[in-house]
Structure 1
Amino acid sequence: MEQGKLIVERPYKKVYRLDKSIVKIFDRTHPKSHVFNEALKMARVEETGLAIPKLQKVEHVDGQWAIFIEYKEGKTLEEMMRVDPANMDKYMEDFVDLQLEIHGKEAYLLENGRDKLAREIQSTKELDATTRYDLLTRLESMPRHSKLCHGDFNPSNVIVGKNGKLTAIDWAHAVTGNGGADAAMTYLLFALEDQEMAKLYMKCYCRKSDTAMQYVQQWLPLVAAAQLGKKGALKKEFLMNWIDIMDYQ
């Protein structure tokens, strides 16, 4: 592989930018099935007709599995929001419009988001059996949808092109399910960094989608509980606060 520029480094992968590609190179210990599953998710999302960077190929690079993805020119929406806070309301409007465009697609062959949440809640060791039971009972009562959900929709995963067009990237967590759950995850990602931004997002999403704020809030403890067993930016104390303050009886 030609020498590229390292743009992201995680414990299990490194992401490089080449001339016309973004290349994710996974650690040798990362399961091959996970690599191919991520590539398959991208292919499924492409089939919905949504304009996303195209999957180019999956191959071995120096004994490591790598996914090659079309490179999209532009800046992340996170960068735009940071350097131009005066236009925050406009950026948030565009951000929510893109999320609702995604939710307007269906991808039946993707993993079911409800099943994934149930599995993650049931398997977490951070919660006792009674709490898990209460959460799973609430999950079972929530409406069943088949909307395309990004699963990690935040401004760092949105590219703004030179023409102003927004493109969602990084579909590793995509599922088919309920848009309210996807919105709850986005809210938590904002809340981790900035409560005011989280409030702005929630108001904008609920207004544009004609969704009751209370409905998205009902998903918060479920999504927070599902994140407890993962190694990521969402810390245990932060997640436990969202589980503890909600009445999920």
Structure 2
Amino acid sequence: MKLEQVLATRANKIIYRYEDTVVKVFEKGYPKSLILNEALNQSRVEETGLKIPKIRAVGMIDECWSITMDYIPGKTLDQLFKENPEKTDELLELFVDLQLEMHSKTAPALNKLKDKLVRQIQSIKEIDATTRYELLMRLDSMPKHTKLCHGDFLPSNIIINDSGAYIIDWSHATQGNASGDTATTYLKMTLYYPDLAEKYIKLFCKKSDTALQYVQKWLPIVAAQQLLRATTEEEKKFLFKWLDVIDYQG
């Protein structure tokens, strides 16, 4: 297999198109367990019936692990927002409806969101023990649900074509409380789509009949989680602003 057409480059992988497939090639030494877990998670999400790329194979290319899946033609919702500003409300409605459809699914074999968050918060050394304790107590008080959660649900991870809307990049998939997943989306929308963030959260709360204050209670928790993935000082500074647990007690 000769891979030439690069679709995207990430910190630990390069994503190629090869004929009717997408091949994720991970850097040499990237943990095999994480790669196999990502493929397994995506396979479990396939079983829910959602429109997502199907896993074709897991293997090695030039001593690097790879995941091969269906190539989904079309444009990302991110592209459509930029190309059609007059359709912002219509596209945002589609975005929220798609997230609600996802949250209506269950995948019982997936890891639990709450367990993952506990492990991640405990591992963050950039925040003090008192703040970690406050965050863990808040997380423990949240209702336990089993809804399908994406973990990175953004317009850039949705592809639209004549067959409908497809959700891609399931590497952070879990089962848990939908409002935790929604808080992650809102936090990232505030960072990457500041003009859409407030419209998004209000529309989501209206359509799902969820209190805004309830989603806000998740914000310090998911902000702490995102610190582990932050790649720039600017992003870390942004996330620290959302870490004040006391500000979100109401």
Band the TM-score falls in, shorter-chain normalisation: over 0.9
1:196 and 1:84 mapped to 2: Cα distance?
14
Q: Which residue of 1 aligns with 2:222?
A: 223
For the residues of structure 1 that align with 2:231 and 2:42, how far apart are their CA atoms? 21
Q: Cα–Cα, structure 1 residues 245 and 191, in superposed 2: closer, same or farther, change >3 Å?
A: farther
CA deviations on 1:176-197 (whole Å, 9 max, x unpaired) are 0010000000001110023331
2:14–2:24 contact (8 Å) kept in structure 1: yes
Deviations 1:150-206 (A, max 9, x none): 10000000000135x111001000000010000000001110023331101101111
1:99 matched to which residue of 2? 99
Distance 2:58 2:125 in 1: 34
- Structure 2 portions without partners, runs of 5+: none
Structure 2 distance, partners of 1:175, 1:133, is 23
In structure 2, what is the equivalent of residue 129 of structure 1?
129
> Corresponding residue for 1:17?
17
Deviation at 1:50, TM superposition (A): 1.6
AA of the residue aligned to 2:17: R
CA distance in 2, matches of 1:3, 1:30: 19
Checking the alignment, whether the CA contact within 8 Å between 1:15 and 1:25 is kept in structure 2 is yes
1:244 maps to which residue?
A: 244
In the alignment, residue 210 of structure 1 is paired with which amino acid?
D
> Paired residue for 2:167?
168
Summarize deviations over 1:23-61 as a string: whole Å, max 9, x none.
100001201111101000011101112221110000111
Separation in 2 of the partners of 1:94 and 1:205?
11
Rounded Cα–Cα distance in structure 2 between residues aligned with 1:37 and 1:153? 19
- TM-score under structure 2 length normalisation: 0.95
Is the aligned partner of 1:74 residue 2:90? no
Alignment of 1:1-249 (within 5 A): 1-163=1-163, 165-232=164-231, 235-244=235-244, 246-247=246-247
- Matching residue's letter, 1:114: K
Number of residue pairs matched? 248
Quickly say closer, same or farther: Cα 1:85–1:32, change in 2 above 3 A.
Answer: same
> Could you tell me how far 1:224 is from its partner in structure 2?
0.3
Quote the RMSD (CA, aligned, Å): 1.4
Distance in 2 of aligned mates of 1:4 and 1:56: 19
AA at the equivalent of 1:65 = W
